Amino acid sequence: MTAVRRYKHPAGAGRDGTAAAAPARAYLGFLGLTLLNPMTIVYFEALVLGWRGRLDPLGAAVFVTGAFVASASWQLLLAGGGSLVGRVLTDRRGRLATALTASAVIVVLTVRLVVAA
């Protein structure tokens, strides 16, 4: 009921002061998380140690460039997609849809719990 009331009367609802992250900020956040991810470090370390002596300098440069481009494109996709989804979900309709969906899931789970007991 509160979500519907806030949707119908947005003047009293207001925003909580948080804005969706800018794409550049989101990208830097994902990049930082990737750099801190131990599995990423272990993966590239295993590749480098496994290929030691098998690649010439040109092949190694191509590999590093390819890995960088692949990682950067994935990070840009995540940051841009996350920023877009954030803007959609923080809109008035997005908040209403999120609140109604969450309420429906809670009702369904409650009914299922009561019926199963």
- Kindly list the domain boundaries of the chain, sorted by start residue: 21-91
Alpha-carbon dihedral of residues 23, 25, 26, 28, nearest 10 degrees? 120
- Classify 40 as helix, strand or coil: helix
* Closest to 54 measured CA to CA, from 63, 43, 65: 63
Angle at which helices 23-36 and 57-89 pack, to 10 degrees?
A: 130
- The residue ranges of the chain whose pLDDT is under 70 are 11-21, 53
Q: How far apart are CA 59 and CA 68, in angstroms?
A: 14
pLDDT for position 12: 54
Q: How far apart are CA 19 and CA 109, in angstroms?
A: 31
pLDDT for position 90: 82
Task: Judge whether 3 and 94 are in contact, CB under 8 Å.
Answer: no
pLDDT for position 102: 92
pLDDT for position 117: 72
Alpha-carbon dihedral of residues 35, 40, 42, 48, nearest 10 degrees? -90
pLDDT for position 64: 76
Sign of CA dihedral 97, 98, 101, 103: negative
